[in-house]
Amino acid sequence: MDNFNTLIDAIAQYRKEGYVEDFNLRQNCLECRNGAFRIFHNEFRIDKFYRFDQDTDPADQTIIYAISSPKYDLKGILINAYGVYSEPLTDEMVSALAMK
């Protein structure tokens, strides 16, 4: 199990492990490379994740995902807020990003 002190530490470690793409979360897919790839819920998997909880500030509630897409031969990270600042998503995306 990963244990990180900061988000920067998590990003650096996942990059070393080959998760080099920067995924952006859209309502119904992930995007990378300025929209060149649109990856839908059934085209990626969550390999691992780490959640940063800060009890004192809801703005510090962040999760980093290490994601792979065998279909497109891509590995990357997605950083997202959760709780109060989470994005509206389709049910399929919520399910795909659910912590397992």
pLDDT digits (tens, 9 = 90+) for 3-51: 898 899 999 999 999 999 999 988 889 999 888 999 999 999 999 999 8
pLDDT digits (tens, 9 = 90+) for 58-81: 556 788 999 999 999 999 999 887
SS3 14: helix
Residue in the block written with tokens 């065998």: 70
Question: Could you tell me the pTM of the whole model?
Answer: 0.84
Rounded to whole angstroms, the Cα distance separating 4 from 79 reads 14
Structure tokens at 39: 């990856």
Give me the residues paired with residue 22 across strands.
Answer: 77
